[in-house]
Amino acid sequence: MTRRRTSIVLSLASIALLAPSLPSLSSSALAKSASKTASMPTVAPSFTSGRGGSGVSENASPGSVGSTADSVDAAFPDVNVNGQADQGIGHSTMMMKVKPPTLQGNAVRESTAGSALNKPLLEGNVLRQTAPDDAFAAAGMARTDVMLKKPKPARVEKDVYRAWVSKAHPQFSLKAESTDPTEVVEVKGQWDKADRTLKNLGIQHTTIGAGQLNPVILAKAKVLVINCAGKLERSSLQAIRDFVARGGYLLTTDWALDNMLRQTFPGYVDWNKGKSKGNVVDAHVVLPEREFFQGTVSNASWKLDEESQTVRVLRPDAVKVLAVSRDLATLDPDRQGILAVTFSFGRGKILHLVGHFDNNSLPFLPLHLPDPAPIIGIGLRQAMAANFVIAGLERANGH
């Protein structure tokens, strides 16, 4: 079970099966609080293995791996390494000048239509329109109304997931079963279980324990999924940095934010000590990009587990906020309500979800989905994560 439920809750949930619609069951705060945060360095170790080249810039273009320290300084004027302006990124002694949390990612941008929308995404917890209709259409998305009520949970069969993949990614769907399972590596977590959703989607993958993650496994991988709680050996952090710098796609969920993401890629995002409740919240896409939202919708709902970690963006110039929630904003110390963020590192990319990739269902209800999205049937968080995984596979194939 995940972070999750007592035997009393299990019994009550069994009775609830008789009801026409099953309510979403929240996780146990007690169980989650008992889990200790991994003791890792605040700043990740430097690149030393040479696989991605030393001195790799986190924001480098695909052809700039192994660039000079001067080019790194130009790209990162706010980085101070041992007081030296001519040192590269990635040293264990580097320090970041953290920007104020009031500007979060793309919270202040111009719309694609050209009209200035220089206002926060959330003002008085009221979401503002951030892109015109044609931007959503260009991303392959359907416009849907803001979710004012929580959706009814649904029993979602594997065929529904497969049908979504077939419609959103027809070419990938034809070859999905024949793809090499070593190209997608899932690291087991204590709370999230991406393996279940990956199977439902028909995405071939390899599941390993946290202690099995090493450069040899990552040498063949194109996508790496780190489940919540994201507790890894310190030695794994360097391998993950090299993997992403070479062009790998990294998907992290929930507590992996504090346990590994901020430490492996310092200076981009952090946990601002805010915590969610174990419930379903509204979800609003604020940056429609095809890579994440092909075949999805503009507004839906989003299942959060007990005490999901709220995100603070440290580098608004590099981190993109993809989706937000008015409900979550009320519990967020920064009042941003961020649900998903992405940023590039070297040739690769990272996507972090507040919440989980799996169904968030109980073991005896493996098909129960608490937050089915309008039109598409599966969860918005699941669809955008699947888009990211498929993009990582196809990008590595040169598509």
Give this prediction's pTM. 0.74
249-253 vs 348-353, strand pairing mode: parallel
- Signed CA dihedral, 166, 169, 174, 176: sign only: negative
pLDDT tens, position by position, 337-381 = 999 999 999 999 999 999 999 877 666 777 889 999 999 999 999
**Close Cβ partners of 133 (under 8 Å, ≥ 6 residues apart):** 143
Residue spans per domain, the chain: 43-97, 121-396
pLDDT tens, position by position, 66-121 = 332 333 233 323 333 233 333 233 332 223 344 444 445 554 333 333 333 345 55
Cα separation values, 188 from 73, 82, 184, 351, Å: 37, 36, 13, 17
Q: Which CATH number fits domain 121-396: 1.10.3720.10, 3.40.50.880, 3.40.640.10, 3.20.10.10?
A: 3.40.50.880
pLDDT tens, position by position, 185-240 = 999 878 888 889 999 999 999 999 988 999 999 999 999 999 998 889 888 999 99
Exposed e or buried b per residue across 190-223, where buried means at least 16 C-beta atoms within 10 angstroms of its C-beta: bbbbbbbbbebbbbbbbbeebeebeeebbeebbb
